[in-house]
Structure 1
Amino acid sequence: MANTLQHQKDGRVGLGEKLGYGVGDLASGLMLNFFGFYLLYFFVDLGGLAPAAIGLMFLITKLIDAVTDPMMGVLADRTRTRWGRYRPYILFAAIPLGLSMILIFSAPEDMGGTALLIWAYATYSLCMLAFTAANVPYGGLLGVISPSSEERSRVTAYRMFFSALGGILVGALGTTLVRELGAGDERLGLLLTISCIAAVSVACLLTTFATTKERIPPVEQNGSVAGDLGVLLRTGPWIAVAIAAILGVTSIAARAATAPFFFKYVAGDDGSPVFLFFDRPALFLTSLALGQVSGVILGSIAARWFEKSHMLIVAGLGMAAFIMVFYALPLDAVWPQTALQYVIGIGFGMLMVLSYSMFTDIAEYIDWKTTRQMTALVIAASVFGVKAGVGVGSFIPGAALDLTGFVAEGQQSELALMGIQFAFAFIPAALLLPAAFALAFYGINREVLAEAEIDLSRRRARLA
């Protein structure tokens, strides 16, 4: 009992450290929301590239991530430094990540065709590699910041708050910054805005490095890489949450990537403000992000009484239903659309905060069952899930636009408009159904976690 009480005490994370860890995900929130909304638009509508070519880029980079993310997880799990296993990578990857973000939108204005396509593939791939180097260890740090599942869940809530804050800032200020900084030059506005985001992102990651600790000591020697991968792929709960995370993020990313085309070509929006300085795309993104914050808070509180997997099933099915209600509304129903997008955001916030918390629970569950510490490898699934979701979600509108005859900056056919609607509503709603189904096989409940924590506490006390 004394060992357990000491374990609980040592596992506490102070407010400053929670904020310091959480702010690191503001970097991801800013980058991924900006990319999700503007990247396809930048290369297709402004750059004149074929939507399918950019959509294929998103898919190819995710195939690369399927290799590099687990490799990064394996490397971080086996790293031993005076700064810990995971924190050094956050420190050294921060600046390369910021520079690579800027590089994507630095394509010369007169560059087009094959040269611009090569630029897009090269710079985006480089940025995703830098993101892997920073974000997989960042996720792994969450798994060792405390031996307590409840405390990790609280830290996760801070992380998801800052992630959602990134969406709020991009939604509320993104279109305004692009418009004002560019002074009529949209390409310049995008470059200057992403430069501001990159600077903030680097500062956030450096803050995380400086303010956090790793509280779970590493084992003297990890198992083999092949053995770790084999255990992971045989762990049903990890497979269930990975599927749900990938499909959930894909759904939201597809809507975000399609939104500029939906509002411009389907809704006929001219970019004028409809509320203060918010135009319709800004309202769309901001309401989603505000809902995400609410979902993070709601999910964190409700997790004290309800099973995480059960809440995610309800959230996923609810998101699918509300996406279809959004589709059924009149195109000029600005405020009902905004309200529905807020509700959809609540479900997405719950998906993010609970799934990330479940990944750390799975890492502890594997440690308990197998004595293998493979936190970053398990967490790599969450990073890959987000990137795969964003990539596939951006591929969906790219493919839909290409197949239905979309014409950049031109008059769209009825078929092209229907393609935009499919990518914006039908496909995102459909993706959430198998995500909810997968979670029915999660299998780790509160009682199992409590038993695992007690046993691991005793084991670590004996080794201390």
Structure 2
Amino acid sequence: MEVEKPGHKEMLSYGFGFFGVILVWTLVGTFLTFYYTDVAGISAGVVGTLMLVARLFDGVTDIGMGALVDRTKTRHGKARPWVMWMGIPLGVSTILLFSVPDLSSSGKIVYAYTTYILLILVYTMISIPYKTLLGLMTQDPNGRSMLNIYTGIFTMLSTLIITTLAQPVASAIGGKMGWSVVAGISALAIIIASFIAFASTKERVTSAVRVNNYVPLKTGLTSLISNKYWLIITLYCVIAYTLNALLSGAGLYYATYILGNTGYFSLIGLVLFFPTMVGFFIMPKLLGKFGKRNLALAVSIIGIFGSLVKLIDPASLPLFLTGTIVQGFGLIPIIMFLYAMINDTAEYGEWKFGVRTEGLVNSAASFGMKVGAGLGGALIGWLLMFGGYVGGAEQQTELATTMILALGIYLPLLLSILQTVLMWMYKLDKHYPQILADLQLRRLKADKK
């Protein structure tokens, strides 16, 4: 059966909207820990705890937001309106986050907790609907994959802009003001991107059983935790985003104290995403032949060897850059396939249990992402504290240096292996065509009644 899917212009607009969402995610995930410890003067241990506590709280709110999206009914749909409503609040909260005032130690901690929790609440209120929107624009598997690739292009672009330019721009301006300016520029981009995405996209997908569009929260959660493929992909999110947080968030410390030059971080950030840039040109041609899961599994296996290359000589810049490129293959599924795979589990849940909950599927998977990002940030703060790290110091203790090595090499190696095992367990792709055909048959029967 024919499944309606968006055109390239609509896909482009959707992808551009993701540009703004990822700007915040990358800015916070890559630089907030460093900003707190080395610019705002908050201790690493406090920052580590803040990262985990706030992200766990954020994950709980994800579930509530997913349920709210499933219950939203407007003439613009149930996900698109949130993209428009939350653009400006997200921009404002981003500026506040990177504007810690000169207060006492306790005052800075209170400000950090308040503004960080505010940001993640607003971020949840735009990111969950945005991810849900992908599943509502089409049920066509190739259409979803292409949508994910469009988002991947803009994810790549926004990530490269932040990782390569944020630190040099902030340093050129100097001090706290430099980071406030970077946050302000990001805020403007967020607002523009969210309004373009709202104005240029369309929701097309409805439940196969139209009389049962309302799903009680308890029923939705029960079907969710019984959905084996959702459980696998959510655990994958935890592992993959912990790995991503370590590779990005700990990279600045590694460049400064192991490689000896903070300026190397921009180069590290650039080469980390080189495989993904190449992937944009070849993955669309390979999708139809091999499928999302098989491609994701293959590049995940390659990514394991990145840490092994770095282990040859951890202080060698050429070897570190080479290992980083290899590790970059493991990030391809996050950027190019993950959101499409998450939304595919919504079809499996509807087929298996008779209820469709795109909002809950995306919000609960997002919970895994938030937990992973929070755990990665917490590990950075806690291990640095354990090693006796002193923010801004020219020299660190031997134990602190060992902890930076663990964050940059040993933990990523373990996480890369776990990520690969989980992707091997995810085998929904081969069942999806039959699932989609069955759902379309149910929809036709429902329309005749």
TM-score greater than 0.5 by the shorter chain: yes
Cα deviation, residue 370, structure 1: 2.4
Q: Do structure 1's residue 70 and structure 2's residue 66 form an aligned pair?
A: no
Q: 1:123-162 alignment to 2 at 5 Å? A: 123-162=115-154
**For residue 191 of structure 1, what is the amino acid of its counterpart?**
S
**For residue 435 of structure 2, what is the amino acid of its counterpart?**
A
Q: Do structure 1's residue 416 and structure 2's residue 361 form an aligned pair?
A: no
Match for 2:265 among 281, 286, 289?
Answer: 281
Please give the alpha-carbon distance, in whole angstroms, between the structure 1 residues aligned to 2:164 and 2:111: 29
Counterpart of 2:196 in structure 1 is: 207
Contact 2:133 2:203 in 1 (8 A): yes
Q: In structure 2, do the counterparts of structure 1 residues 403 and 257 end up closer, same or farther at CA, with 3 Å as the change threshold?
A: same
Where 1:405 maps in the other structure, the secondary structure is coil
TM-score norm. by structure 2 comes to 0.94
Please give the alpha-carbon distance, in whole angstroms, between the structure 2 residues aligned to 1:433 and 1:290: 21
Cα deviation, residue 134, structure 1: 0.2
Please give the alpha-carbon distance, in whole angstroms, between the structure 1 residues aligned to 2:92 and 2:66: 23
Q: CA RMSD in A?
A: 1.8
Cα deviation, residue 452, structure 1: 1.6
Please give the alpha-carbon distance, in whole angstroms, between the structure 1 residues aligned to 2:388 and 2:76: 54
Deviations along 1:88-130, one digit per CA (max 9) or x if unpaired, are 111111111111111011111x224111011111101110000
Contact 1:160 1:293 in 2 (8 A): no
Counterpart of 2:76 in structure 1 is: 83
Q: Do structure 1's residue 17 and structure 2's residue 10 form an aligned pair?
A: yes
**For residue 144 of structure 1, what is the amino acid of its counterpart?**
L
Where 1:126 maps in the other structure, the secondary structure is helix
Where 2:288 maps in the other structure, the secondary structure is coil
**For residue 59 of structure 1, what is the amino acid of its counterpart?**
L
**For residue 156 of structure 1, what is the amino acid of its counterpart?**
N
Counterpart of 1:249 in structure 2 is: 241
Q: 1:314-463 alignment to 2 at 5 Å? A: 314-329=298-313, 331-334=315-318, 336-410=319-393, 411-446=395-430, 448-463=431-446
Please give the alpha-carbon distance, in whole angstroms, between the structure 1 residues aligned to 2:285 and 2:57: 37
Please give the alpha-carbon distance, in whole angstroms, between the structure 2 residues aligned to 1:227 and 1:437: 30
**For residue 81 of structure 1, what is the amino acid of its counterpart?**
T
Counterpart of 2:44 in structure 1 is: 51
Q: In structure 2, do the counterparts of structure 1 residues 72 and 297 end up closer, same or farther at CA, with 3 Å as the change threshold?
A: farther
Counterpart of 1:276 in structure 2 is: none
Contact 1:136 1:376 in 2 (8 A): yes
Please give the alpha-carbon distance, in whole angstroms, between the structure 1 residues aligned to 2:414 and 2:396: 25
Please give the alpha-carbon distance, in whole angstroms, between the structure 2 residues aligned to 1:116 and 1:37: 20
Cα deviation, residue 434, structure 1: 2.1
Deviations along 1:335-385, one digit per CA (max 9) or x if unpaired, are x43343233223202343222211111111112222312011111134223
Deviations along 1:262-305, one digit per CA (max 9) or x if unpaired, are 11122211x4xxxxxxx311111122233333345544443322
Please give the alpha-carbon distance, in whole angstroms, between the structure 2 residues aligned to 1:226 and 1:296: 40
Cα deviation, residue 195, structure 1: 0.6
Where 2:188 maps in the other structure, the secondary structure is helix
Please give the alpha-carbon distance, in whole angstroms, between the structure 2 residues aligned to 1:294 and 1:111: 46
Deviates more, 1:308-317 or 1:39-48: 308-317
Q: Which structure 1 segments of 5+ residues have no match?
A: 272-278
Counterpart of 1:197 in structure 2 is: 186
Please give the alpha-carbon distance, in whole angstroms, between the structure 1 residues aligned to 2:91 and 2:140: 33
Where 1:82 maps in the other structure, the secondary structure is coil
Q: In structure 2, do the counterparts of structure 1 residues 281 and 205 end up closer, same or farther at CA, with 3 Å as the change threshold?
A: same
Deviations along 1:405-432, one digit per CA (max 9) or x if unpaired, are 1122222111110011101111121112
Counterpart of 1:227 in structure 2 is: 219
Counterpart of 1:121 in structure 2 is: 113
Q: In structure 2, do the counterparts of structure 1 residues 396 and 324 end up closer, same or farther at CA, with 3 Å as the change threshold?
A: farther
**For residue 293 of structure 1, what is the amino acid of its counterpart?**
M
Please give the alpha-carbon distance, in whole angstroms, between the structure 1 residues aligned to 2:321 and 2:191: 32
Deviates more, 1:253-262 or 1:452-461: 452-461
Contact 1:169 1:286 in 2 (8 A): no
Contact 2:19 2:158 in 1 (8 A): yes
Where 2:252 maps in the other structure, the secondary structure is helix
**For residue 312 of structure 2, what is the amino acid of its counterpart?**
A
Identity of aligned residues (%): 26
Deviates more, 1:426-435 or 1:416-425: 426-435
Counterpart of 1:186 in structure 2 is: 175
Where 1:56 maps in the other structure, the secondary structure is helix
Deviations along 1:186-227, one digit per CA (max 9) or x if unpaired, are 321111011101110111111110100000135343221111
**For residue 170 of structure 1, what is the amino acid of its counterpart?**
I
Q: In structure 2, do the counterparts of structure 1 residues 289 and 29 end up closer, same or farther at CA, with 3 Å as the change threshold?
A: farther
Q: In structure 2, do the counterparts of structure 1 residues 314 and 112 end up closer, same or farther at CA, with 3 Å as the change threshold?
A: farther
Where 1:165 maps in the other structure, the secondary structure is helix
**For residue 385 of structure 2, what is the amino acid of its counterpart?**
D
- Count residues in correspondence: 443
Counterpart of 1:27 in structure 2 is: 20
